[in-house]
Structure formats: structure tokens, C-alpha cells
Structure 1
Amino acid sequence: MNSITNQSPTPSETRPLVRARNVHKRFGDNEVLKGIDLDVNGSEVVVILGPSGSGKSTFLRCINQLESMDQGSIMVGEVQIGYELRGRRLCKLTPHALARQRRDIGMVFQQFNLYPHFTVLQNIVEAPIGVHGQDRAEAEAYAMELLDKVGLRDKANAYPRQLSGGQQQRVAIARALAIKPKLMLFDEPTSALDPELVGEVLATMRDLANQGLTMIVVTHEIGFAREAADRVVFMDGGKVVESGPPKEVLSNPQHPRTRAFLSRFI
């Protein structure tokens, strides 16, 4: 049985945008998350670093409920992700109700996952129109604004196969932004790109950070963490090992495991 904590806020309390408490996740005998606690404030950019298998991506997927927690609580705003309070019991949401919750959360994955038979514009407006019932003209106008933002307005009628990997990932970012999320999750968004294409995607992400978008970014791009993050979190073995401003964590890490990891990059 899942042990999910009710962390519903009271009106008098000031809350971070994201509050994760004691988050556990197990796949069979493998406990991937072992009690994650993390707060993310509005307009904050948090970069999560750590070795493969440390639970970084699983934690992001729990925030967006692509994976369900075994124990703990994740709040986004005043909403308990994946659950609702019925009387005094927390109950799992139906898929339809969960889809409504996800309206506030955009996510960009390692793979671009664009529909190959849709144009760039069609890929961006598919969710606002098909899922959220937005007016087509309004959705398309906003999609063009987003393409301006990611520098791809001239590619609106192109198909994914006609784009470079970096361009496809920038379209994927625009698609995630099309639902006007409060929170953006990035799961190693440059790991599938050729090295020469990484810079254009990171530049787009830096622009979003400068505009005040709340972002949680799983990446191995230490330069991006140093330049764009408000806070760096280092995870290892399913736990948060160290957290702090980039200057402190990247230049003067306190934990031996953090120092060993960063020595490979710096």
C-alpha cells in the first residue's frame, strides 16, 4: 500500500512553488528514491546533477506523475500531485483529473518525441487545441510567438525530419511552453544531441531562465549550471547529498561524493 502524506497548505503559510517531502520510489527490489526533500521557489532555476542511476530522472517523472510515488508528497502550488483529498483520505486521481493537473507542468525529454507526420506548428498546437480545448487561432498565434522565442519562426511549416536535432529540441521546448506552464522540467535535454548542437538549446534555456520561468533541470552541463542556476542539487544513491548556490557547490563542494563527481568535469 502506498504511504502518501497529506501536505495540504493552510492559507496563512507562504509556500514554495514545488514542495517534495520524503519521496520514495521503488522498481521491484531497486529503491531508486530514498526520501527526497526539495523546495523550489517561483522563478527559481534548480539544476540537479548526479551520476547515472542516482534517481534524478525518476524524481522529475514523479513530479509530473509519469511515475507514481510509493511514499511521500509532492505539491505544485497548492495541488498535491497525483492525489486529491476526499473527506479525510487521499485518493489517486483518475487519468482525466491527472491530465488537468499536468496543465501547470511542462516537460522536455532527452528524446524530442515530435510527431513526424505533423508540421512544427501542428506539433506545438496539438495539446492546447486537442487536450485543453483552446481556440485554434489563439493557439496558433501563441505558437508563432513561441517559435519567435526559440528562433524558429521560419520553420513553422517544416516537418521534424527537415530539422537538425538542436532545432527539434527547441521545437520540443516551444511545445512544452504552449500550455503556459507554471513549472518546466528538463530531463537531460541535450544528451541526445551532437556536441555542436548543444549550445543552441542551452541558449534557449538560458533565455527562459532570464525571463523568470521556474525550472528544474537534470543535466550534466556544468557550464549551464554555473551560469543559469540559482541553486545546484547533487543527488547520489537516491538521495540529495548536497544543495546550494552554484558558486558554493561547484567551486567548493562539501561532500566527498560531490567532489569526486565534479572532478570529472571541472
Structure 2
Amino acid sequence: MNQTQTTEAAAREPLLTMHQVRKAFGSNQVLQGIDLEIYPGEVVCLLGPSGSGKSTVLRCINQLETIDSGSINFKDEYIGVRPKNGRWFDLTERQKARQRREIGMVFQKFNLFPHMTVLENIMEAPVKVKGITPDAARQTARDLLERVGMAAFGDRYPVQLSGGQQQRVAIARALAMDPELMLFDEPTSALDPELVGEVLDVMRELAKSGRTMMVVTHEIGFAREVADRIIFMADGTIVEEGPAASVVGSPQMERTQQFLSAVIH
């Protein structure tokens, strides 16, 4: 196998694999055996009604929730657990934190530290978690702020920013760890309508740059534009998945058709 073939084969290996993942909250079975693969450089959008399990998928990947059964494999390593002698053992908090370094997450709420400036918010994790020098972290933070259109706001505090500006800072903060995978959990749902576009513009640029992304969103037009693949979920299951144009343009499953007819005007 030559170098080109080796590279192509590696590119076909999934970055993330979920196998029969189940998760319940009390008697509510939120995920009912999810099977999913995400490939390097792929942008995948998760669509579906509220309560379908989309956000729970992301929270399980980032170990904010513990799965009840099944497995999640990221870069050939099981998330949250390790096998030994035919049994599974939970990772320590330190080991979980190491895995989280390579997975960035942007939430509905911005979760910025209110007592820190924009620049300090972005520098915090690279310095404290990765041990990067403050000078190097500051330069990276400035570069990222420029990338998300916030170069002039480094010395501001979160309270001095609009919701859209805070979300762009939150994206820069996640990127500061240079993660292999970016998770976006309805990043525009808490924003006023006129601020949604500025955040989606940043995400469009990330998608064009080849960043591997999983995005839970209700922005159907955005999903159709940037996603390589759309996954439609309902009642804790994957109902339909495929290329964005196919799933949005000509959905095959009745449940998908019902959802899209209700949200596309």
C-alpha cells in the first residue's frame, strides 16, 4: 500500500463511533441504541424535535452524561471506560479530563467566566489544562478572536457583550484547545433572531476549514448548506440519515417529512 493509499484508508477510519448507546433518565429512555460514525473533516448536523435525544448524544460524547450501555469510541479509545480482563472499569476524573481536551463543546448558554475578560476566558484552559505559556496562549487567543470577528473586544467583560458576541467568544474558547472534534449544542437557540446570523457565519467558516463538527440545530437552512450529512432523530432513535440535500430535500421517512413540513415555511 503506497503513501496515498495509506492516507486515504486512514481518512475512511471513523474518528468517533457510537455503538448501541442507551441512556435513560429515570423511566424516560432518552437514547435507545444509537449507532453512529463520524469521520475526520465531516460536518454532521443533528435535527429533530425537542426531546428526541440530540443534545444527550453530544453530552454523552463529552462525558457530561454517563451512558447506561453500549460504547463510544474516540480515536481508537473508549470514552469514559477501559476494558480489562473482560470487564469494564470507569476512568478516573483525570483520565476523563484528558479525553475531553480533544473534544470542544459550545453550549446554548455561553458559560463564560463573568469575572474574566474575553482574552482571559480564552487563555484559561490552554494555560491551566495544557500547560501552554501565558504569552503563547495570549497570542493564540488574539488570533482566534480575529478569526471570529472579535479582535477589538479582548479587554471587555462578558456582561459588556451581546449574546451573539458572547457566543462567538465561546467558540473561540473551545477552539483554543485545538480539539479534534467540535460539538455545538443548539448554539443559536438562546440568541435574539438578529444575532443568529453572526454566529452561523463563524460556524460556516469553521466548516469550510475542514474542522470535524457535530451540530445540534433547528436552523434547517444552515444544516442544508454546511452539513455533509444530516441525522434526523425522534424518540431517542435515528430515524433517517444521509446527505444534507437528500434528507432535507426529499426525506424518505414519514416522521422526517412531518418534522420538516412543520419547520420549513
Equivalent positions of 1:115-194 (< 5 A) are 115-194=113-192
User: Contact 2:22/2:31 (CA < 8 Å) preserved in 1?
Assistant: yes
Q: State the alpha-carbon separation in 1 of the partners of residues 144 and 161 from structure 2.
A: 17
Aligned to 1:81: 79
Give the one of 97, 112, 115 matched to 1:114. 112
Counterpart CA distance in 1 for 2:48 and 2:210 is 25
Opposite residue 126 of structure 1, the aligned amino acid is E
Asked if the contact 1:46–1:217 (Cα under 8 Å) also holds between the matched residues in 2, the reply is: yes
1:232/1:249 contact within 8 Å kept: yes
Find the aligned partners of 2:144 and 2:106 in 1 and give their Cα distance. Answer: 15
C-alpha distance in 2 between matches for 1:87 and 1:132: 32
Identify the residue that residue 4 of structure 1 maps to in structure 2.
Answer: none
What is aligned with 1:201? 199
Q: Structure 1 CA distance, aligned partners of 2:53 and 2:22?
A: 10
In the alignment, does 2:211 pair up with 1:226? no
The whole-number CA distance in structure 2 between the counterparts of 1:238 and 1:38 is 13
Map of 2:57 onto structure 1: 59
The runs of 5 or more residues in structure 2 that have no matched partner are 1-9
Q: How does 1:251-262 map to 2 (within 5 A)?
A: 251-262=249-260
Residue number among 23, 26, 35 corresponding to 2:24 in the alignment: 26
- Which residue among 97, 102, 121 is the counterpart of 2:100? 102
Q: Secondary structure at the match of 2:101?
A: helix
SS of the equivalent of 1:151 reads coil
Given that 1:15 and 1:77 are in contact with CA atoms closer than 8 Å, whether structure 2 keeps it comes out as no
Whole-angstrom CA distance in 2 between matches of 1:73 and 1:136: 37
Q: How many residues are aligned here?
A: 256
Identical-pair percentage: 60
- Is 1:246 aligned to 2:249, yes or no? no
1:203-253 per-residue CA deviation (whole Å, 9 max, x = no partner) reads 000000000000000000001101100000000000000000111100100
Separation of aligned partners in 2, 1:150 and 1:86: 44
How far does residue 76 in structure 1 lie from its aligned partner after superposition?
1.2
| Stretches (4+) displaced over 6 A | none
Aligned to 2:19, what secondary structure does the other structure show?
strand
> Does 2:35 correspond to 1:37?
yes
Structure 1 residue 264 displacement after superposition? 1.6
Structure with the higher fraction of residues in helix conformation:
2
CA distance in 2, matches of 1:14, 1:81: 20
C-alpha distance in 2, partners of 1:217/1:203?
14
Structure 2-normalised TM-score?
0.94
Q: Is the 8 A contact 2:11 2:40 kept in 1?
A: no
TM-score (norm 1): 0.94
CA distance in 1, matches of 2:183, 2:199: 14
Check conservation: 2:49, 2:234, Cα contact below 8 A. Answer: yes
- Distance across 2 between alignment mates of 1:156 and 1:107: 21
**Cα pair 1:46 1:216 within 8 Å, conserved:** yes
**Residue deviations 1:6-58 (CA, integer Å, cap 9, x gap):** xxxxxx99620111110000111111000001111100000000000000001
Which residue in 1 is equivalent to 2:90? 92
> Are residues 231 and 144 of structure 1, via their aligned partners in 2, closer, same or farther at CA, if it must alter by over 3 Å?
same
**Cα deviation, residue 77, structure 1:** 1.1
CA distance in 2 between counterparts of 1:119 and 1:13 reads 39
Q: Distance in 2 between matches of 1:14 and 1:167?
A: 36
Separation (CA, whole Å) in 2 of partners of 1:84 and 1:13? 25
